[in-house]
Amino acid sequence: MSTPTNESLDVFVKGLWRENPVFVMLLGMCPVLAVTNSVINALAMGLATLFVLVMSSALVSLLRNVIPKQVRIATYIVIIATFVTVVDYSIQAISLEVYLALGAFIQLIVVNCIILGRAEAFASKNGIGKSILDALGMGIGFTFALLCLGGVRELLGNGSLLDINILGPHFEPWSVMILPPGGFFVLGAWLLLFSWLKERSERRKTEKEASHVG
């Protein structure tokens, strides 16, 4: 698939779906479950993570030939923690309400395995352009996954999307969806759906091949 011409496109696209950090690689689950009880929280968290991911990937990639191998993890963590602090203060300055809703999870971006994972597995081995593309893809994929969860949970748990009532006044909200168990249930349901779709497409393929042979 990755011919040289669309290789960089592929670097970007793979994070969106084929190697989606949440749905496929099951990374960074804590914020995925914790802050997705509404679309706006999910969006804020996704953008904050995207920013940290892109900035730290870029810096790690720039410094990749300078950093000695033995202290690379320590250096990455310092770089990531710096950008998280930057995001932390910026969000406080932009909107205190959003900051209070996300709670400690902004600061916990530091230990989100996606960021350290991309720094170690991709940015430390590739040029800055490619690293930024990779980080953008992964970050957007992560935000997309957060929105998938946040959308379902807010719609079922509150009858609204982005605080705009959608399901009307007669809808009795499923409060459990915005509570902790709802996070587990909705993510579990998405994973079941994806693996069902995958299995079905594989079964079709083998059936087709079988009928072809037959």
With CB under 8 A, what is the number of residues at the site for another protein?
70
DSSP class of residue 160? E
Nearest residue (CB) to another protein, 68 versus 214: 68
Q: Cβ–Cβ contacts within 10 Å for residue 201, how many?
A: 9
Nearest residue (CB) to another protein, 34 versus 161: 34
Q: How far is the CB of 136 from another protein (least distance, A)?
A: 20
Stretch (H or E) spanning 183? helix 180-213
Q: Rounded to an integer, what distance in angstroms lies between the CA atom of residue 104 and that of residue 93? A: 16
In the list 9, 62, 166, 192, the residue contacting another protein (rule: CB under 8 A) is 192
Q: CB under 8 Å to 87, separation ≥6 — which residues?
A: 48, 51, 52, 106, 109
Beta-sheet pairing, 160-161 with 164-165: antiparallel
Binding span for another protein by CB under 8 A among 46-54, 82-90, 132-140, 161-169: 82-90
Write the interaction track for another protein spanning residues 29-68; mark x where CB under 8 A is met and - where it is not: xxx-xx--x-------------------------xxxxxx
User: Given phi > 0 = left and psi -120 to 50 = alpha, else beta, which region is 26?
Assistant: left
Q: Which residues bind another protein (CB under 8 A)?
A: 26-27, 29-31, 33-34, 37, 63-71, 73-75, 77-79, 81-82, 84-86, 88-90, 92-97, 104, 107-108, 110-113, 116, 121, 124-126, 157-158, 173, 175-176, 178-185, 187-189, 191-192, 195-196, 199
